[in-house]
Amino acid sequence: METNIAQLELITKMILTAWDGQNSHFIKLTDSLTDAQLSKEIAPGKNTGIYLMGHLIAVSDAMLPLLKFGEKLFPDLEKVFIRNPDNSGLVKPSIAELKNYRQAVNAKLNEHIRSTTSAQWLERHTSITPEDFVKEPHRNKLNIIISRTHHMAYHLGQMVLLS
């Protein structure tokens, strides 16, 4: 049994390290790009860097209630960066505002991530019912971190085209 606990802790650490790595890359990349670069489309007719930056922040913000870490800090971002496309005509926050939002969301997420035990990562998240979770225990909080890490990596690959 002790080996299983050690293995769970190791796997959890590996997954959270991958999340931290992608998040650090996101911060470095968005801080290194100029406002002009972030304003460009990644390819003709595709999303701008500002949109992708806002999208990743909105997705991270949405993780707070999903993981039972509290309410979203910036719920208005969902309408602009998740429910609507880049060219929707909706007013977007400035790049400086987005960087402040990014910092606040990351601070809140990191606070909770650091205090969550390996066993708690295997608990259900809020978008699955207790009944469904019994049938699908892989739909847990740790799986949210895995999927959001991949999601961030995908969009960071797009944003690299702006540099």
Q: Is the pLDDT of residue 84 over 80?
A: yes
Instruction: Determine the pLDDT at residue 117.
Output: 96
Q: Is the pLDDT of residue 2 over 80?
A: no
Tokens linked to 62: 């949405």
pLDDT digits (tens, 9 = 90+) for 129-150: 999 999 999 999 999 999 999 9
62 lies in which domain range?
2-162
Task: Kindly state the average pLDDT of the residues 56-61.
Answer: 98
The label of the residue with tokens 């540099």 reads 163
- What CATH number does the domain containing 148 carry? 1.20.120.450
Task: Kindly state the average pLDDT of the residues 102-106.
Answer: 98
Q: Is the pLDDT of residue 1 over 80?
A: no
User: How many domains is the chain partitioned into structurally?
Assistant: 1
